Structure 1
Amino acid sequence: MERKSCSPLLLCLLILVIMGLVGYIHFKKELVNKLTNKVEFSEAGVREKDLDANDYGLAVEHTQKEFDNADKEVKELQDEVGKLNSAKEEKDKEVKACQDSVAGLNNDVAAMEKEKSDTDGKKTKWNEDINSLKQKLQDQSPVCAYFKISEEVLKKDPTIKELCPQIHTVVQ
């Protein structure tokens, strides 16, 4: 009987060991599932980090290209500004030359105006002198009244009659 009584005990012990093994296998399977989930999470994180790194690299590359293009444009604009500055300097020299020329011309004009005003003053004086002389010519000179000239002399020099219209002619 002892044999028989041991058999249920052994059977119970065997069932307990099997249950323990099943529990242990189940526990290990849960651990494997948890570790698999962690690995998948880690791999997903690594993939995401790789994608972020690739995006960052592309962004850096794009930004670098923009910087290079901006530098290129700045150099082109600096070259253009240099050309424009040299053209501006030439134009400034031309303007300065024109201003100097205008100043010289203004001086010439002022000198001419002064000369003209001097000439006008002289002209006025001369006109006055001419008018005075004309007046004197038109006035009968008392000297002419004392001249007596023959007609032959008057024929030779008719201007005498113009100078002294009241000259008396003498018949010879």
Structure 2
Amino acid sequence: MEKRSCWPLILGLNIVMIMALLGYIHLKRESVNKLANEMEFVQAAVRETDLGLENYGLAVEQTQTEMDNAEKEVKELQDEVGKLTSAKAEKDKEVQACKDSAAALNNDVTVVEKEKSDVDGNFAGEKTKWSEDINRLKQQLQEHSPVCAHAKIPPKDLEKDPTLKDLCPQIQNQTTTVLPH
């Protein structure tokens, strides 16, 4: 009987072992399913990361192209600035030469203006003297000159030189008086 009494125990142990193995297999299957789900999430994350890296790579290439274009433009602008700077330097020299010339001309103008003011002052003084002389001479002309009183000029000479009448207005009177005699 002893042999028979072990059988149920062995059978029970086998059943327990089978149940344990089934439980273990079930746990491992859940673990594998979990790992498969995690692996799917990780693969999706990796795909997203790859896509992001591709986009980043494209952005890097585009940025590099833009930087290269910008460097070309900067180089061109620097060349143009260099040309304009040399042109500006030439124009600055011309402007300085014009300023120097203008300063020299201003100095010349100042000298000429001084001379003009001196000449104007001298002219005003001379004009005053000449005006005084002219007025004095006019006054003398208007006065009867004793020479004119004794001058006997024939009318023919008066017609030839009419200025004699201006010098001695009495001559005209005398000639008219002399003619009727």
TM tier, smaller = 0.5 to 0.7
Task: Write the deviation string for residues 69-104 of structure 1: whole angstroms up to 9, x where unpaired.
Answer: 443444444444445445544554554455534862
User: 2:36 & 2:158 partners in 1: Cα distance?
Assistant: 155
RMSD: 4.1
CA contact (8 A) 1:154 1:161 kept: no
Partner of 1:64: 64
Give the counterpart of 1:132 among 133, 136, 152.
136
AA matched with 1:19? M
Matched residue SS, 1:23: helix
User: What TM-score results when the alignment is normalised by the length of structure 2?
Assistant: 0.61
Shift of residue 67, structure 1, vs aligned partner: 3.2
Name structure 1 gaps, 5 residues minimum.
none
Distance 1:80 1:116 in 2: 56
Question: Structure 1 residues 166, 29: CA separation in 2 closer, same or farther (over 3 Å shift)?
Answer: same
Q: Deviations over 1:95-137 (max 9, x none)?
A: 4455534862771773685377257524554444334333322
User: Quick check: 1:110 aligned with 2:113?
Assistant: yes
Residues 46-66 of structure 1 deviation map (CA, whole Å, 9 limit, x = unaligned): 333323333333333333334
Could you state the TM-score of these two structures normalised by the residue count of structure 1?
Answer: 0.63
Give runs of aligned pairs for residues 15-164 of structure 1, distance below 5 A: 15-96=15-96, 98-99=98-99, 100-101=101-102, 104=105, 107=109, 110=113, 113-114=116-117, 117=120, 120-121=123-124, 122-123=126-127, 125-145=129-149, 147-149=150-152, 151=154, 154=157, 158=161, 159-164=163-168
SS for the counterpart of 1:140 is: coil
Distance change >3 Å, CA 139–CA 102, structure 1 → 2? farther
Distance 1:155 1:10, change over 3 A: closer
In structure 2, relative to structure 1, the CA distance for the partners of 1:25 and 1:161 (3 Å cut) is: closer
Contact kept? 2:158, 2:164, Cα under 8 Å: no
Counterpart CA distance in 1 for 2:129 and 2:75 is: 73
Query: Percent of counterpart pairs with the same letter?
Result: 56
Superposition deviation, residue 165 in structure 1:
3.2
How many residues align? The count is 170
Structure 1: how far apart are the matches of 2:96 and 2:138?
55
Q: Any gaps of 5 or more consecutive residues in structure 2? A: none
Q: Is the 8 A contact 2:158 2:165 kept in 1?
A: no
